[in-house]
Structure 1
Amino acid sequence: MENRRIIEKSKILVTGGAGFIGSNLVDRLLDQGNEVVCLDNFATGKRDNLDLALQNEKFTLIEGDIRNYEDCVKAVKGCDYVLHQAALGSVPRSIKDPMTTTDVNIGGFVKMLHAAAEEKVKRFVYAASSSTYGDSKALPKVEHRIGNALSPYAITKYVDELYAKNFSDLYGIETIGLRYFNVFGRRQDPNGAYAAVIPLFVKKLMSHESPVINGDGTYSRDFTYVENVIQANQLAAVTCTDRMKERAQEYYKEHEQKNTWADSNGVLAEVFNVAFGERTDLNELTHSLKENLSKFDGSIVFVDIVHGPTRAGDIPHSLASIEKGRSLLGYDPRFSIRDGIKEATEWYWENI
């Protein structure tokens, strides 16, 4: 089946490879027999996430910064693909410190993209973000229709998409952006001021502390288990350009959209939603977390939930259309939020 296509017999650079998503990609790529390079400055990544990788002779760790062009050049040397995960995440962090977020997410992105173009890698796959949809109220979110950005973080991730398209046009490097929708799973850090909602709530519940929901709990998200993201990255890297071009012609015609590259001699520069395609509100999420964790500690079911003020910059609702990814990449997410929460809570129970 097409969704079984994986990266094999290749050398891959994973930037931010010590992070939550990056380290999961590193381990899977090594399991498949690839040579993997990780570039990370450990600003948010953890060395512990690389414990397995560091035991593999095909793994190389470069402690460096994507804001340093020499580090980017060194890391990408001889690589077939780049899976660019390095970034400063978090809407609240970007509101508090927009300068650093911009420096890393745009300045570092351009340096890494330029180094990859100079090295003539086969394809540059990068982590985009569902925050790009901004204040658009349309549901589900479709790749070609976005709103106004609600945070500096969202602006940086959209600018990355513009740079990727521009570099494809100017320098001939193939680029694919993956707009992640609320990714969760093993190794997602529950600590710190900017912890994501699922690991933060898990940690609170395991400590018998009340999680605080921002608002009345009706805000909803398309929570996406990390295994779906691993699949999307691999498909984005290896799917044949001609196959995508053919399917793009059909997809854009069917949806009455402007064909961004397939009708011309333009180089591949596409963006895809990466999600499960199912919406869950925060009240439902919290109930599911309590239900799964109570299998390990029955008293968790009695922990109260607290509601606080709505958080600035938050998007009220998020639900992805994954039809474009299905059509052009063969993307077929296997893990629903229910499946993902079951696996994630088991991992957190054993590891935190």
Structure 2
Amino acid sequence: MKIVVIGGSGHIGSFLIPRLVRGGHDVINISRGTSAAYVDAPEWQQVRQVTADRHLEDREGTFGDRVAGLGADVVIDLVCFTLDSATALVKRLRGETGHLLHCGSIWRYGASRKLPISEGSDSTAEPLDEYGIQKRDIAGMLKGETASGGLITTSLHPGHIVGPGWHPVGPLGNFDPSVWQKIAAGQPLQIPGGGTELMHHVHADDLAQAFEKAMQSRESAAGEDFNIVAPSALTVRGYLEIAASWFGREPHSEMVSWEDFRETTTPEHADTSWAHLSRNHCLTIEKARSLLGYAPRYEPEQAVREALQWLIGNNKLKVQIT
């Protein structure tokens, strides 16, 4: 098939596009052309690159024409963040493309009420920010589009994406490199809350696998939305214990209030920690397993360790992992 990937040079596309090429597909990547894939692979030599500024072209009303003009059987949209943008693309591709797959986010869910969280349940409160609201509304629009007999669509909603090339969400729910340095040195960490809050990661290649399987199972995936995460979630305390063992250390931590935690770090890191930990997410992947055959290879700690090894090996993080 001819497949157009929108935003394929980032976290997900770095793994997805080589998979699609290996599958024998004709692949076109639309991106701003400002960055290369995180993982070098020979398959990229077979990919046609199209440079476009989606934000600008959405404003001008021309982006949908650009995508439709490529004549794709399948369009995989990895970088759509507003309902207006998603709706415009759907309208233009209706009758032109066989299948549109959209990358959503587990932040379409607000704070958890019941665990694990399943698609379409009342397990969470409403989304907590504009990003999550837009992702929720896009998923709803896509389901309605397919249910009404329009474009065949599918939305996949990943957890905290992990892989070589970028910093993972760490044990305190943020991206502060000093957290890893303290763990590696056996220094104590102040943990906000109770230490039982949950984070649900997913390796970028497992997410790429899910997109590939959804594309291959169009009848089962039509009009559906899927949680795409690792088989298990990590608690703050458990994550810290596992991470400390990588450096030959015992975990040392102190539970503190959120107010006191904010005194120990920057507002940005504190806000990021709150955003992740206050949601307290743990999701089920049973729907993706049964309808798509989704079979993640990575437990969350394996994905995080691989990301850390890449950061250390490329001098992006100054610690030593054993």
Identify the TM-score tier after normalising by the shorter chain.
0.7 to 0.9
C-alpha deviation, 1:123, in angstroms = 1.1
* Equivalent AA in structure 2 for residue 143 of structure 1: E
The aligned counterpart of 1:176 is 154
The aligned counterpart of 1:144 is 120
Aligned residues: 289
1:113 pairs with one of 90, 100, 103: 90
C-alpha deviation, 1:345, in angstroms = 2.2
The aligned counterpart of 2:63 is 71
1:339 pairs with one of 287, 302, 310: 302
- The 5-angstrom pairing of residues 249-328 of structure 1 reads 268-292=222-246, 294=247, 301=249, 308-309=261-262, 311=271, 313-314=275-276, 315-328=278-291
Q: Deviations over 1:136-179 (max 9, x none)?
A: 41101010114312111110100101221233245621111112
Alpha-carbon separation, structure 2, partners of 1:128 and 1:155: 11
Alpha-carbon separation, structure 2, partners of 1:50 and 1:280: 26
* Equivalent AA in structure 1 for residue 51 of structure 2: I
- The 5-angstrom pairing of residues 1-352 of structure 1 reads 10-41=1-32, 46-47=35-36, 49=38, 52=41, 56-66=45-55, 67-68=58-59, 69-76=61-68, 77-87=70-80, 104-119=81-96, 121-146=97-122, 147-170=125-148, 172-188=150-166, 190=167, 196-197=169-170, 200-201=175-176, 205=180, 215-241=193-219, 244=220, 268-292=222-246, 294=247, 301=249, 308-309=261-262, 311=271, 313-314=275-276, 315-351=278-314, 352=316
CA contact (8 A) 1:224 1:276 kept: yes
C-alpha deviation, 1:81, in angstroms = 1.2
Percent of pairs with identical residues: 21
C-alpha deviation, 1:313, in angstroms = 4.6
Aligned residue for 2:94, secondary structure, equals helix
The aligned counterpart of 1:257 is none
CA contact (8 A) 2:94 2:151 kept: yes
Alpha-carbon separation, structure 2, partners of 1:122 and 1:213: 48
The aligned counterpart of 1:259 is none
C-alpha deviation, 1:328, in angstroms = 1.1
* Equivalent AA in structure 2 for residue 65 of structure 1: R
RMSD: 3.2
Aligned residue for 1:107, secondary structure, equals helix
C-alpha deviation, 1:126, in angstroms = 0.9
* Equivalent AA in structure 1 for residue 175 of structure 2: L
CA contact (8 A) 1:40 1:86 kept: no
C-alpha deviation, 1:131, in angstroms = 1.5
Aligned residue for 1:56, secondary structure, equals helix
| Alignment CA distance shift 1:63-1:221 (3 Å) | same
Judge which range, 150-159 or 223-232, deviates more.
223-232
Alpha-carbon separation, structure 2, partners of 1:201 and 1:238: 38
Gaps of 5+ in 2: 263-269, 317-322
C-alpha deviation, 1:271, in angstroms = 0.6
Tell me the TM-score normalized by structure 2: 0.76
Alpha-carbon separation, structure 2, partners of 1:164 and 1:73: 19
Gaps of 5+ in 1: 1-9, 88-103, 246-267
CA contact (8 A) 1:30 1:59 kept: no
Alpha-carbon separation, structure 1, partners of 2:78 and 2:51: 15
* Equivalent AA in structure 2 for residue 46 of structure 1: S
Alpha-carbon separation, structure 1, partners of 2:200 and 2:44: 35
